[in-house]
Amino acid sequence: MPGCGSVYIVGAGPGDPELITVKGLRLIEQADVVVYDRLVPRELLDHTKPGAELVYAGKKPGAHAMTQEEINRLLLKKACEGKTVVRLHGGDPYVFGRGEEECIYLRSHGVECEVVPGVTSAIAGAAYAGIPVTSRGLASSFAVATGKEAPGKPRRMVRYADIMKSVDTLVVLMGVGTLEKIVEEMLEGGIDPDLPVAVVENASTPRQRVVTGRLRDIAEKARRAGIQPPAVIVFGPTVKLRERLWKLS
Ligand code: SAH
């Protein structure tokens, strides 16, 4: 739309503020408005120029600061005031971030929108615990799934046991609250109870904690450790490599 500014849908990385891309950081420095998520490292906001407007659009389970529709409209409004807008997402904007919905909405209203990918917690969260998602001879495929499907969906789309039978490594995001159910479903579906599993809380931050176990005991171990979101759950044989890679990574 003539007169409107651009919106950049930027991935902030998993938690360590240094894990943003050079391009993402440059755009933060230039932005007139930054609309940011709950999981975005706050240190990144120190890079905004004086007078830049910072808007928190975080969503917490059960407590939304703004609805997605409100975020979409805000991005459009700010862009159409002629401003350069950065929409900052935790991790990568297109991995369970709804960045694509924002971009589609803006484009449908004639506003320029560009995505700047970020380092996703799905891969970096595992890596920071010393777990590669692939490894020669051990894992040649991986998948990323949500532990929590959108409420009101007519039928389940994620079948954990089926996925686990098809790929070597499965990373589940947003799965802390449903870990027990996921494990139960995998065991009922015939997955080996000895499958190595790791839960990585607050990955890549000074508050990172890791719990490891087997499919049969991981839910209990995570519960006893009091694991809270955000955490990634990694299922697969490469979890064993942690013994040799952790602290070196
Ligand atoms: N777009 C994000 C994911 C958003 S969904 C990305 O690419 O990383 C939010 C989920 O991401 C959380 O529930 C958690 O499962 C995971 N997550 C994000 N940051 C994390 C972190 N620092 N440590 C562990 N998990 C994290």
Torsion angle defined by CA atoms of residues 115, 116, 119 and 123, in that order, rounded to the nearest 10 degrees: 30
* Amino acid letter, 31: A
Q: Which atom of ligand 1 is nearest the CA belonging to 120?
A: 7
The backbone torsions φ and ψ at residue 245, rounded to the nearest 5 degrees and listed phi first, read -105, -20
Query: Tell me, what's the pLDDT at 157?
Result: 80
Region 53-75: mean pLDDT is: 86
Beta bridge partners of residue 85, listed in sequence order: 7, 33
C-alpha separations of 189 from 74, 164, 168, 244 in Å: 44, 9, 16, 31
DSSP state of 211: E
For a substitution probing ligand 1, which of 39, 95, 102, 120 has the most ligand atoms within 8 Å of its CB?
A: 39
Residue 36, both tokens: 């940011």
Query: Tell me, what's the pLDDT at 249?
Result: 45
174-200 residue pLDDT tens: 999 999 999 999 999 999 999 999 999
Region 139-148: mean pLDDT is: 97
Is residue 172 pLDDT above 60, yes or no?
Answer: yes
Residue ranges of alpha helices (H) inside the chain are 22-30, 68-80, 99-108, 121-127, 160-166, 179-188, 218-225, 242-245
Q: Using DSSP, state whether 126 is helix, strand or coil.
A: helix
Q: Is 106 in the pocket of ligand 1 (CB under 6 A)?
A: no
Q: Specify whether the CB–CB gap between 203 and 173 falls below 8 A.
A: no
Residue among 26, 48, 19, 22 nearest 35 (CA): 48
Total H helices, total E strands in the chain = 8, 12
Alpha carbons 40 and 59: distance in angstroms, whole number: 11
Is residue 163 pLDDT above 70, yes or no?
Answer: yes
Mean per-residue pLDDT of the chain: 94
Residue 62: which pLDDT band, with cuts at 50, 70 and 90? low
Going by alpha carbons, the residue nearest to atom 6 of ligand 1 is 91
CA angle 188, 127, 123 (to 5 degrees): 65
Query: Tell me, what's the pLDDT at 183?
Result: 97
Is residue 71 pLDDT above 90, yes or no?
Answer: yes
Query: Tell me, what's the pLDDT at 240?
Result: 97
Q: Is 96 in the pocket of ligand 1 (CB under 6 A)?
A: yes
Those residues whose C-beta lies under 8 Å from the C-beta of residue 225, and which sit 6 or more positions away, are 199, 209, 211
Q: Is 115 in the pocket of ligand 1 (CB under 6 A)?
A: no
Q: Is 230 in the pocket of ligand 1 (CB under 6 A)?
A: yes
The model's pTM is 0.95
Higher per-residue confidence, 151 vs 44: 44
Query: Tell me, what's the pLDDT at 151?
Result: 64
Region 201-219: mean pLDDT is: 98
Give me the domains of the chain, ranges plus CATH numbers. Answer: 6-116 (3.40.1010.10), 121-248 (3.30.950.10)
DSSP state of 237: G
CA angle 31, 35, 40 (to 5 degrees): 105
